[in-house]
Chains A and B, each alone.
Chain A
Amino acid sequence: MRNAKITELELRKFFVEQQSSAEVILHVEVPVFCRSVDLVAQNKKDKSLAAIEFKLHDWKRAILQVQSVALCFDYLYICLPMPKTAQGRESILNQCSQNGVGVYFYAFEGECFEMALESPQTSTVWAAQKKQIVSYLEAIANE
């Protein structure tokens, strides 16, 4: 697999294949407000929800997108291909750190994901709004 050929959908697919576990259920394309979140990680143990946005290029837009659903999620992440330079990596990590967003990088060499920055728990989560998302996830699980 090479960067030039990968799509966002493939990036997400690899993530789901590698990161799924019995404890963390991953849901793709979860409608939230007027848009949909690329991937939602539902932790069955601590009942937390994390939103993850995948982007190949426009990582600043990914930050804005994931922040727009901060009311509903305990953790916010973006997932991007590993930057080519250390400076690029630092720039992304700094911006995400300032905005309370965690980061996964995908390394093409090892074909694996690295959690480069852990998301802090959001301070804005609104229980009633989160409950709407959980209800949706339960409904699709029972379909």
Chain B
Amino acid sequence: MSENIRILRYNTGTDKKAFVEFKEQFDAVIFNATIVAYSGASVADLVSMHKRRYIIDPQTHIFQQEFSAVCTEDKKSKIKSMKKSVAKYLSLLPNELTSIFIEQQRPLVPGEVLPHADELVVANYKFQTEFISGFVETKEYDKYLKFANLKPEPKIIIAPYFMLKESYSEYEINEWLELFSICLKKTIEYSVGTGSEYPVAAQLVLDKGILQIQGIMQKLERVLSIPGYSYIFLWIDDFNAFNAPRNTNSAFFQLIKMLNTCGKMPIMAYGGYESIILCNVHSPARLFGVAQSVGYGEYRPITPVGGGLPTNKYYFLPLHQRLRYDEAAEILSRLGYFSRDESLAAIDYYANICGCKMCHEVIENDINNFVAYNDSIPFTIVTKSGNVSRNRPTTEASLAAAMHFLFCKIDEWKNVEEKEFYVLVQELHEHYKEYLPQMLGAITSWENVYEHEEN
């Protein structure tokens, strides 16, 4: 049995159809604490019916964010107020902390959190172990779940964590690390004290630049190498390993290697294929799991930015990268897929690009049906300089793209479990050379970090 944990991240109700379809292919579902707090009843339904092993990201880094980062603006009145989901979640955490954040509308400093670390640890632990089951107990199906011993349970409990920001001074970084360490130790102690069998995990969230600070690895090792836990979730702000500078990738490599040496099992909290490939048993710096969403799985910024207008996307499996539909179509066009016999081109497509169930349903025996991934609805935006027309994907096209993406992920996990690391790297290299040569340099730079170390 694989040691890797394949985690599906559940964001909104629109993810449900794809989530239900693929639930058996993943080991656990992860929710953000704010979603759980706000939609407890529907989350309880979802985990009870479909995926009984769940993880909750406690998002305690919220206390470090600017108040405006958790606010939303009412479209009509233009009045900004805290997001309801955040307000609901914060109401379940120690009042001494939330009152500073809400009333003074500013980030907290470590000295303000430290005196309440015990309360924070307990509140966080109880939220992850009891909040969902509290809703389940009010449901009709609770008796059945109890009888069949199928009650939903946490797969892992994540200790409260704090982000290391590039803007922090060395003193501030040390203080936050100290607090991180205290909360992790206290969570382990609390878990042992309650006789719980759920493994405790840490979560390390940081800006990319933090990895470049001299001596940071030693500091992280001191904090993270403590006994009593194995899993550590990693979230590096907006970090795309396949397109990162060599020094960032080298630092990331050193981080993983250090964790492995300490006997820890890092899991990428938001990862694409650049993380899945590192779950290969022969990877010189090994990850032990990746969490990804229904519609995307790549790197992600910690402070969310506006997503912009929705566009048709297509996951280009040989590149393990989600492209805009037109970018994907342009590659296929360049390789002559649309200028030869449509039926033979479809066969070639299944052999070379993707042979997943969704692609077979969409394309059938005519490559021209690939155009269905671009099904869209035109709409008009009124701007200062006049009306602008745009397309947005139809619900059907979005769902088809999401299903295709998840089939691709299953394929990726299968390959990573079965093939040698060097074969996976070689294939990646060849595919970039063939389909997206302009990015081959970036891929080669990534390869060099891992191949050099492997040898």
Choose one: B329, B368, B388; the contact of A29 (CB below 8 Å). B388
Contact with A along B365-395 (1 / 0, CB 8 A): 0001111001010101000011111110000
The answer on a CB contact under 8 Å between B338 and A68 is no
B72 vs chain A, min Cβ distance (A)? 25
Q: Please measure, in the bound complex, the distance between the C-alpha atom of A19 and the C-alpha atom of B426, giving whole angstroms.
A: 54
Given contacts A33-B391, A136-B378, A71 and B312 within 8 Å (CB-CB): no
CB of B454 within 8 Å of the partner chain = no
The complex places the Cα of A43 from the Cα of B389 at a distance, in Å, of 21
Partner of A33, one of B325, B334, B386: B325
Interface centre among A34, A69, A124, A131 (most CB of B within 10 A): A34
A13 to chain B, nearest CB (A): 10
Q: How large is the interface on B (under 10, 10 to 19, 20 to 34, 35 or more residues)?
A: 20 to 34
By the criterion CB–CB under 8 Å, are B378 and A71 in contact? no
Judge if A57 is at the interface, Cβ distance under 8 Å: no
Since A33-B324, A127-B368 are in contact, a sample of 10 more A-B pairs with Cβ atoms closer than 8 Å, ordered by chain A residue number, is A9-B386, A29-B380, A31-B390, A33-B312, A34-B390, A36-B388, A71-B329, A71-B333, A127-B338, A128-B338
In the complex, per-residue mask of A86-112: 1 if CB is within 8 Å of any chain B CB, else 0: 000000000000000000000000000
| Residue tally, chain A, CB below 8 Å to B | 22
Q: How far is the CA of A32 from the CA of B390 in the complex (A)?
A: 7
Is A20's beta carbon under 8 Å from chain B? no
Q: How far is the CA of A58 from the CA of B34 in the complex (A)?
A: 45
A35 within 8 A of B: yes
Main SS class of interface, B = mixed
27 A-B residue pairs with Cβ-Cβ distance under 8 Å, sorted by A, are: A29-B387, A31-B378, A31-B390, A32-B391, A33-B311, A33-B312, A33-B324, A33-B325, A34-B309, A34-B326, A34-B390, A35-B390, A68-B326, A71-B326, A71-B330, A124-B334, A126-B333, A127-B338, A127-B368, A128-B338, A128-B368, A128-B370, A128-B371, A129-B371, A129-B374, A132-B374, A136-B378
Which residue of B is nearest A126, CB measured? B338
Given contacts A68-B326, A126-B333, A132-B374, contact A34 B387 (CB under 8 A): no
CA distance A126 to B335 in the complex (A): 13
**Considering the complex of A and B, which 8 residue pairs feature the smallest CB-CB distances, nearest first?**
A34-B311, A128-B368, A33-B326, A29-B389, A31-B389, A126-B338, A36-B389, A31-B391
A30 touches B333 (CB 8 A): no
Interface residues in A35-61 by Cβ distance below 8 A to B read 35-36
Taking CB atoms, residues of chain A closer than 8 Å to B369 are: 128
Cβ-based interface call for A18 (8 A): no
Determine if A7 is an interface residue (Cβ-Cβ < 8 Å).
yes
Residues of A within 8 A of B330 (CB): 70-71
Which residues of chain B come closer than 8 Å to A7, judged between CB atoms? 385
The chain B residue sitting closest to A36, CB to CB, is B389
Residues in B whose Cβ lies below 8 Å from that of A124:
333-334
Q: Mark B127-154, 1 if CB is under 8 A from A, else 0.
A: 0000000000000000000000000000
| Smallest CB separation, A32 vs chain B (Å) | 8
Interface centre among A30, A36, A128 (most CB of B within 10 A): A128
Contacts of B334 in A (CB 8 A): 124
* Contact present for A132 and B371 (CB under 8 Å): yes
Report the bound CA distance from A6 to B386 in whole Å: 15
Q: Which residues of B contact A34 (CB under 8 A)?
A: 309, 311-312, 324-326, 390-391
CA distance A71 to B329 in the complex (A): 8
